[in-house]
Chains A and B, each alone.
Chain A
Amino acid sequence: MSIQITPDLQENITNFEEMFSDSEDIKKRRIKVGKNLDSECYIAYVEVAISNVDWKDSAVGKLLEKLRTLPKEELVGYVRENYYDISDAKPFETLEDAAQGMLTGDALFFLDGYNKAIKIPDKGYPGRGVYEAESEKVIRGSNEGFSESIKLNTALIRKRLRSPHVKVKETFVGRRTNTNVDLVYIKDLIHPEILSQIEKRLQEFEIDGALDSGIIEQLTERRKYSPFPQFQTTQRPDRAAMAILEGRIVLLSDNSPVALILPTTYNTFIQTSDDYYSRWEIASFTRVLRYAASFLAMVLPGLYLAVTNFHTQILPTDLLLSLAAARQGVPFPAMVEVLIMEVAFELLREAGVRLPGANGNTIGIVGGLIIGQAAVDANIVSPIVVIVVALTALCSFAVPNEEFATAFRILKFMFIFLCGSLGFFGFLVGFLAVLIHLSHLESFGIPYLTPFVGADLNGYQDERDTFLRLPLDFLKKRPVYTRQGARTRLKFGGEEKRNGEGK
């Protein structure tokens, strides 16, 4: 049952203070207003969310200043007529709504005789501001990264997409956190079914708290047991803007610097922002490298085991002899040897991530160089295994998206077991299983392997931006995520608009 805000200020204060009893961080002030200071108002706010240095420069201060110049009987009329002079001010009729408004980081204003509370924005909760993105580094292009403030993040996207067609749909998730979630998209580019699908999925669950976009991601994914993510994540506003231009939808969650992009495919995980900022030859070369890296990050240790344990006839005799010589004195079977090194490497990686910056780097050096060398000297592992594991690690780092790379890191262990026990047959069985799984996987109705499959849906245009990123002149059409009739993204002078398609 909601509590209505009444014209009786004392009643409102009593109800409000009861609601926020034992909340020392909520500051409440009764302030005299009116020309003769014969009326009262009440201001409540979350400590540190409101400037406490000089109220006079804030919207709250200016409002109070004005109210002290007016006679008592004009106060309510003035506030009712003029509150919208303050940007983003919002009136509430119930105490619950008003409390929610205050908890977004704004001040709440009650006035004696007025049956509404007004939310007055101020500096809001403290945040980091715009910093450099910590992942998805690029050689060329913007270095701005998303922060924890959803308002800042939407503004960073707006800054790049200055079009009235860009829409921001707001919703709230989390019964107790009431986390603000924004869906950002270009209305005339998206498939409306995808928007309604994500909206429906956001309504399908009720959770007490959604503290990061990762929680929303897991609750809205359809294939929960797949190691492959069905949302693309990014910390880069330019990547998000690019996705929106492709007719995709960006989901921003308050308190999370990670945006979710949907729908997504294998191909989009391999793409980076600077693929489009750099020349096509360089972009294509690195694209091919990344595809190869994603494959090798999964299968390299397994293939090493299959070849050295089962199919030695493939290798030249010299190489085979040097491999055998390198393994001399190692007491473990090759599979155990690889597993020891892989687990050690994963431990190093985890330790490096958890430790503060400088220490994390030290762990890498200590682990990679000293422990690796010591393990070889002590005959625990052979040098070739160190090389294989290091190469595998390099490959997993070359995959631009952390969540996507993690899927390959996990599957790598499956291949180690399969190839270590069944040889090349195990490799083929594992590869086929992964391929079948990927071919079944979809992200919001888009096959995960698009455009390698179903390329006919967009007239085979999407194949121009896969292994090779063809020159921009060739990429005149938006990908299949864009609705039919709005797929033209590039035109040159003299080229007529066809079929009413617009940019």
Chain B
Amino acid sequence: MFADNFKISLRQIRRLFVLDIFGMSSLVLPGIFSAMTGADGIFCLLFGAAAGLLLLWLMGAVIKHFGDDYYSYMKDTAGQVIADVFMVFYFLYFVTLSGYVVYELTALALSWLWPEGSFAGVSIALLLLAVYGSVRGIEGRARVYEIIFWFLGVPLLLMLLFAVPEVNTAHWTPIVYSGVPQMVKGSVSAAIFLLPFSAMLFLAPFSRKPQRLASCGVQALLVSLLLNAVIYLILLGAFGQNAMGVLERPILTLMGMVKLPGGFFTRQDVLMTAVWFFALFALLNTGVFQGTLILKELCHETKHNYSLYAVAVIAFFIGKGLSEHRFLSDIYKIYQSFIALPGMFLILLFLLLLHQVKEGGKAGKEAASNEEG
């Protein structure tokens, strides 16, 4: 039969990643870039994307070596203990990502959609939806985002088009004036937002064509890069570096400023928040789903959904912690920059290296036995 095979198409995977990457990065990155690098933010985006391409290339190389299951591959290549350590690393990444997205998405909802609401009420509602979205496996999750891709994409593109008259190109200069440390920091920030791509390693069993996952990721990265670049240039042109630096979510502010032809709606920011609401929810769903998948593997859970509920509860407390204690946000940023980002690269490099060594050893032994024979 067609459904219930727990396989999803490349188009679904591509759309899933575009939403995962685009949502959070377009919301947060412009503010970070404008504060650090001004117009050079475009270069940070490009350098970040280059790092993302490298990550995807490494993942593509690793995926080629395992048939279906990344965890089994890690166990075969590096042994049970190291594989478990790596799985814990991935679990920590996805569960903290879920918590961070809960925090951001709840803050978005409370600022723009329901100011009278409470953090607990909104975040619990969102997590319940995420659990509902994940409970029946990946197919349903992929279908949701295949559907809403155009519902979100078309209004967004139209709004960006209508925002063009607001752009003052003088704000795009000067370029190449920020220092190397700022550029590096900006590029690292851009690269951090591409880390959700590492979910791809765990998607191989669910993909109809696992060997094409990496190229699918590259396409998603290029679409996100293009969208982010256009948004950044429009925002920079509309607000200028200084004004944008003080705005919390400049893209939503811009959505409130855009005048639609015909002008029935006076402000569209509330309506357009839906784009980021759905995109961030996609990322939350990815975090919860991947976290659950890894925890299930680690705990050898097959029948029940305890892991799913556990991930949701942990995410809630991380989100709540981030909203109540500012220092936790700083710790999270440090964790992302100095542990998660390099860790993702190093694990893949380590596995590839070990694989090469093992293959080389095997080839040597075969050659030796042939010679003896």
Contacts and interface: CB of A to CB of B under 8 A. Distances in A.
A280 interface: no
A374 interface: no
A193 B5 CA distance: 14
B306 interface: no
A446 B144 contact: no
Contact of B129 (A191, A436, A439, A456): A436
A429 B143 contact: no
Contact of A433 (B1, B12, B132, B147): B132
A449 B147 contact: yes
B143 A425 contact: no
Interface of A: 191, 193, 310-311, 313-317, 422-426, 428-429, 432-433, 435-436, 439-440, 442, 445-447, 449-450, 452-457, 480
B136 A440 contact: yes
Contact of B140 (A317, A436, A446, A450): A436
Interface string B232-264: 000000000000000000000000000000011
A265 to B, nearest CB: 11
A425 B2 contact: no
Interface residues of B, number: 41
Contacts of A426: 114
B281 A432 contact: yes
Contact of A314 (B10, B126, B132, B270): B270
Contact of B2 (A316, A429, A435, A446): A446
Interface string B266-293: 1110110110011001000000000000
B117 interface: yes
Contacts, number: 98
Contact of B265 (A314, A423, A442, A456): A314
Given A425-B117, A452-B147, 18 more contacts: A193-B1, A315-B266, A316-B263, A423-B114, A425-B109, A425-B113, A428-B274, A436-B129, A439-B144, A442-B3, A445-B1, A452-B146, A453-B146, A454-B2, A454-B12, A455-B11, A456-B9, A456-B11
B148 A435 contact: yes
B125 interface: yes
Contacts of A446: 2-3
Contact of B4 (A316, A425, A445): A445
Contact of A313 (B129, B147, B270): B270
Most buried by B among A439, A446, A480: A439
Nearest to A439: B143
A436 B126 CA distance: 13
B272 to A, nearest CB: 11
A191 to B, nearest CB: 8
B147 A310 contact: no
A435 B144 CA distance: 6
A314 B264 CA distance: 9
B122 interface: yes
Interface in B277-320: 277-278, 281
A161 B344 CA distance: 61
Nearest to A193: B1
Contacts of B23: none
B133 interface: yes
A314 B267 contact: yes
A436 B144 contact: yes
A333 B142 CA distance: 40
Interface string B143-180: 11011100000000000000000000000000000000
Contacts of B148: 435
A311 B125 CA distance: 21
A432 B277 CA distance: 10
Contacts of B264: 316
A429 B266 contact: no
Nearest to B148: A435
A334 to B, nearest CB: 16
Contacts of A429: 125-126, 129
A316 B266 contact: yes
Contacts of A424: 113-114, 270-271, 273-274
B2 A445 contact: yes
A447 B114 contact: no
A425 B278 contact: no
A71 to B, nearest CB: 63
A433 B133 CA distance: 8
B114 A422 contact: yes
A439 B147 contact: yes
Nearest to A310: B114
B143 A453 contact: yes
Most buried by A among B122, B129, B143, B268: B143
Contacts of A435: 144, 147-148
Given A314-B265, A440-B136, A454-B143, A433 B129 contact: yes
A333 to B, nearest CB: 15
Contacts of B109: 425
Nearest to B144: A439
A456 B122 CA distance: 36
A449 B149 CA distance: 14
B262 to A, nearest CB: 11
B113 A445 contact: no
Nearest to B114: A425
Contacts of A314: 265-268, 270-271
6 contacts: A193-B1, A313-B270, A315-B266, A317-B266, A439-B144, A454-B9
B2 A457 contact: yes
B109 to A, nearest CB: 5
A446 B113 CA distance: 36
A87 to B, nearest CB: 40
B138 to A, nearest CB: 11
A436 B141 CA distance: 7
A456 B126 CA distance: 31
A436 B133 contact: yes
A234 B125 CA distance: 38
Interface in B317-359: none
Contacts of B113: 423-425, 428
B2 A447 contact: yes
B191 to A, nearest CB: 30
A453 to B, nearest CB: 4
Nearest to A441: B140
B312 to A, nearest CB: 15
Most buried by B among A426, A442, A450: A442
B147 A453 contact: yes
B14 to A, nearest CB: 11
Contacts of B267: 313-314
Nearest to B265: A314
Interface string B7-44: 00111100000000000000000000000000000000
A310 B270 CA distance: 10
B224 to A, nearest CB: 21
B327 to A, nearest CB: 29
